[in-house]
Structure 1
Amino acid sequence: MNTLQKALIALSVGSLLSVSAQAAVNYAGQPYVGAKVGQYSPDDVEDDAVSYGVYGGYKFTPEFGVEAEYLTTSDTDAYEDAEEKSEYSADVLGLYATYDYAFPNTALYAKGRLGFAKNEVNVDVTDKDIASNSESFSVSDTGVAGGLGLGYKFNPMVSAEVMYNFYPTIDFDDGENLDANGITLGAHVKF
């Protein structure tokens, strides 16, 4: 390798490092907090639950970040017949890595997130004939969770997102399992 080639390589590496350093200086990271409302949809229930919660995160770069979420639901009918009625509610606590893709020349962006969450479902079963046979129990599981969505930046500090979410499957002792997903609409403020 001659001197000219070595000089060009050194200049190229130096330029690349300089651009990376400038990008790091221009984007120091950005925290955000928000609230969301939506629908929690477990399999094999009569009604989907109304969900609501809070979330917050930190953007390391304009594309990559982390996000934490707490989501809860209202009490909702799961099943009812002449002898029995059951209701459920759910809580989801998650931590995700996020990726945002900004569509060029628009305020729209696509968002993906993948991580881990705890999905807990509380069930109240009421026996209409024999009240002493009524019971309440809770089941939960922790596993992979995530979502895909579309967002809109109203200005550099305020955004809204609609997102499809999938939550960890809950495995019961009898071999049955409960899959749940949901759709949420959230808004957050960066600071």
Structure 2
Amino acid sequence: MNTLQKVLLALSVGSLMSVSAQAALNYAGQPYAGVKIGQYSPDEAEDDAVSYGVYGGYKFTPEFGIEAEYLTTSDTDAYEDRFEKSEYSADVYGLYATYDYAFPNTALYVKGRLGVAKNEIEVEITDKVSSVFNESFSVSDSGVAGGLGLGYNITPMASIEAMYNFYPTIEFDDGEDLDSNGITLGAHFKF
């Protein structure tokens, strides 16, 4: 984790803690939990993977909160030619500070989130000529992650939201980087 990522994380956690302490005086808070489905897109893969997962959080004020998520994907083709085929799957574990802006007199809101996540990709390479050359490996990295989306309060206790997400860059030993992003559609219930 580089210095900029550490500074951003410290600022977001510090801001969240100070706002939540001030808001505790006049806002009871609200927990929520939900499910999501979407698309996970690493830069180097031929196909995008179907992603699905769970998330939950707690709103300290109507605007500020904290959210955790677990996202996984299906096995998806990364590359294929006459001699070789590779597939990948991914897992993302994240913890975010959130900010919601509700549009006045509507059920619409904009949601932003920023935090840290672990992005892990498993790769399986199949040699079509000789199985001796088959291999599988896993790469992962942790760092800054976040997203921006649009939500709609169906009822006071249920919401749906569509979100663009960016995940931590995976840095390889040879100096190459793998960036991943995705879009999700989620639904959650408030308690």
Report TM bin, short chain. Answer: 0.7 to 0.9
Deviation, structure 1 residue 157: 0.5
Matches within 5 A, 1:18-97: 24=24, 26-97=26-97
Instruction: State the Cα deviation string for residues 92-150 of structure 1 (Å, max 9, x = none).
Output: 00000000000001000000000000000000000111111110000000000000000
- Counterpart-to-counterpart distance in 2, 1:48 and 1:182: 9
Q: Give the AA of the match of 2:83.
A: E
Q: Give the AA of the match of 1:69.
A: E
- Counterpart-to-counterpart distance in 2, 1:99 and 1:125: 41
RMSD, aligned CA:
0.9
Q: Note if 1:114 corresponds to 2:125.
A: no
Deviation, structure 1 residue 27: 2.1
- Counterpart-to-counterpart distance in 1, 2:50 and 2:24: 41
Q: Find the counterpart in structure 1 of residue 130 from structure 2.
A: 130
Q: With the length of structure 1 as denominator, give the TM-score of the two structures.
A: 0.87
SS of 2:47 mapped into structure 1: coil
Q: Find the counterpart in structure 2 of residue 3 from structure 1.
A: none
- Counterpart-to-counterpart distance in 2, 1:184 and 1:105: 26
- Counterpart-to-counterpart distance in 1, 2:181 and 2:57: 21
Contact 2:32/2:190 (<8 A) preserved: yes
- Counterpart-to-counterpart distance in 2, 1:36 and 1:76: 19
Contact 2:30/2:58 (<8 A) preserved: yes
Counting matched residue pairs gives 169
Unpaired segments of 5 or more residues in structure 2?
Answer: 1-22
Deviation, structure 1 residue 187: 0.3
Instruction: State the Cα deviation string for residues 16-72 of structure 1 (Å, max 9, x = none).
Output: xxxxxxx75652000000000000000021100000000000000000000000000
Unpaired segments of 5 or more residues in structure 1?
Answer: 1-22
- Counterpart-to-counterpart distance in 1, 2:155 and 2:25: 22
- Counterpart-to-counterpart distance in 1, 2:25 and 2:180: 42
Instruction: State the Cα deviation string for residues 73-95 of structure 1 (Å, max 9, x = none).
Output: 00000000111100000000000
Instruction: State the Cα deviation string for residues 157-191 of structure 1 (Å, max 9, x = none).
Output: 00000000000000111111110000000000000
Query: Which shows bigger deviation, 169-178 or 77-86?
Result: 169-178
